[in-house]
Structures are given as C-alpha cells and as structure tokens.
Amino acid sequence: MITVKGQPIRTTNETFPETVWAEHVAHIDRIPRPIAMIGLLLIFLGLWQAVHVFGLVSPIILPSPAEVGRDILFVGSNLISGGYMLSAMWITAQEALLGFAFAITIGFSLGVLVGETSFGERAVLPYLVAIDTMPKVAFAPLFLAWLGFGISSKVALAAFIATFPIVVGTASGLYAADENARALFRSMGASRWQTLWRLKIPNGLPQIFTGLKIGAVGVMAGAITAEFLGGGKGLGELIRVAASQLQTPRVFSLILYLSLLGYLLFWTVVLLERRLVFWHRASATGIEEAR
C-alpha cells in the first residue's frame, strides 16, 4: 500500500443531493422557427393591409397585398406555361450565369496571382483595390457602348461586379494557411504547386466561398442594372416597363421572381460550400444555417 508518513492516503467519498434545475429560456426564444417566421410574415402583411384599408397611401404607389398576390399567381402561371416571362427570366439567368462563370475564372486566377506571388501582391493588388473602391455600376454605359445592347454588355457588367469579391476571397484564402502548415509542407519537400493545391486552396475554401457568395449576389445586381440601362429582353426590362406604366403590382411580383432566381444561384453556391467545406465549422453550420 502507498503510504504518506506511515499513514495510508486518506480519501473521502461523500454523496450529495442532486441539484437539478431548469435553465430559464425567454418565452420569445421558445417559439419554434417556422411559427416565428410565418408569424412575422403575417404581422407584416397585416400592417400592409391596414395601410391599404385606411387609405394612408395611394393604391398606385402601394397596391394591396391581395392585388400583389393575384399578380404573383398570374406571373407564376405565365412562367409555368412557358410564356414570354419565362424567356425573359431565362435571359436574365443566362446573363447572371455567364457573368458568374467569367467572374469565377478571372477572379480566381487574379486571386491566385495576388495571393501566391509577391509580384501580384505588390504590383497587381493596389490597382485591384483602387478599381474595387469605384462604384462599378458607373461603368455600365461604357460596357453598353463597347458591347451593344445585347446580352454581352449585361454579362460584362455582372462579371465586372462579381470579380472583385472573388479575387479578395481567393487571395485572403491563400494567405490563411498558417505558418505551421507551411513549414510542414516545406519539410515534406512539397513543390510550390503541391503546396498551392494540397494546402493553400483547400485551406482557403471558406474565404473563397465567402467571395463566391458575395459574387453570386453581385451578378444578379449587375445583370439587372445593365438591363435597366441598356434594355434587352430580360426581367429587368419587364420591371422597367411595368414601372413606367404604373403597374405597381407587376413590379412587385417580378421583383419576387427575380429574387427567387438570385436565391437559387446563392443556394447553389451554399450547397456546394457545405459539400466541399464540411470540415469548417462556421461554413457548415452557424450563420449559414439560417439562410
């Protein structure tokens, strides 16, 4: 037996009463999410209806929820039956998708140039930062003048807006690899190319996807802005025409379907992110969950 100063080591083994008690959760935080969300929507619609019932705002400026609802159904049926609105939506979708594809290609390449080479960081980055601070929508007339009123000028503006967040996301993603991991790769004799593809790019995916998500929002804004300014046959043109004819319910419902398009694009990116960046806590759960 192990002893201390000739005595056995003393131990105690008392038992105590359980002290189990419930933590307090505020009532408002106990409401389940679907009920909370639907409830908030109903409150919003109720206030909107009240504005309408009391005649606070002219119906031309703000139509009633019911009117907008009817128009949403009308536009929806036109879309489903493959009417002219569907082809408008398809055109806007093409502009956004092509713009996104260009933005990803150019943004990722420039991001690697900036994040991986000191030439890129010293010579290219300052110009990118300078251009990024400009209001990029102001370039729209230039793109229209250069590329005409077809789809390409819209693609160009969409790509132009979305490229910068992707550059920034990619470059900061490449910077994110910590010194320990870099030392590990050097000690294994990894080439620059191997370090890039096996360490820096996968490690930087959370930042790259942040850039992609901002870019996905940006391409929609770019495509619509270019349509407002340069016509064409997309959803933006339909919105502009409806607004000029004071068809306010139509404007509302077109915006809704436009948002669905943007939402679809955004969610595609988020789902891809969850697949690829499953190992990163904040990317896989947390704030993204709510989206």
Partner 1 sequence: MMQQAVEAGVRHVPGRPIYQLRNVSRSYGAFRALTGINLDLTEGSFSSVIGPSGCGKTTLLKIMAGLAPPSTGSVILNGRPVMGPQRQIGMMFQQATLLPWRTAIDNILLPIEIRDGRQAARAHRDDAGALLDLVGLKGFENAYPRQLSGGMAQRTAICRMLITRPEVLLLDEPFSALDELSRDNMNLELQRVCLARNATAFLITHSIPEAVFLSDTVYIMSARPGRFSEAVTIDLPRPRTLEMMTTPEFGAYVTYIRNRLDEGAAP
Q: Using CB under 8 A as the criterion, which residues of the chain lie in contact with partner 1 when the complex forms?
A: 178, 180-181, 183-190, 194, 198-199, 202-203, 277-281
Q: CB of residue 278 vs partner 1: minimum separation in angstroms?
A: 8
Cβ-based nearer residue to partner 1, 167 or 199: 199
Shortest Cβ distance from residue 266 to partner 1 (Å)?
23
* Residue 22 CB neighbours (<10 A): 5
Q: How far out from the chain centre does Cα 259 lie?
A: 12
Q: Shortest distance, CB of residue 175 to partner 1, whole angstroms?
A: 17
Q: Residue 8's beta-bridge partner residues?
A: 3
Nearer to partner 1, 202 or 231 (CB): 202
16 or 193: whose CB is closer to partner 1? 193
**C-beta of 230: minimal distance to partner 1 in Å?**
43
- Contact residues for 210 (Cβ-Cβ < 8 A; gap 6+): 165, 169
Q: Whose CA is closest to 104, among 188, 15, 218?
A: 218
- Whole-number minimum distance, CB 188 to partner 1, in Å? 5
CB of 23 to partner 1, least distance (A): 27
Number of Cβ within 10 Å of residue 278's Cβ equals 9
Three-state SS at 162: helix
Contact 154, 94 (CB under 8 A): no
Pick 185 or 257: Cβ nearer partner 1: 185
Rounded CA separation 173/167 (Å): 10
Rounded to 5 degrees, what angle do the CA atoms 68, 74, 77 make? 140
Which residue, 190 or 217, has its beta carbon nearer to partner 1? 190
| 3 state SS of 57 | coil
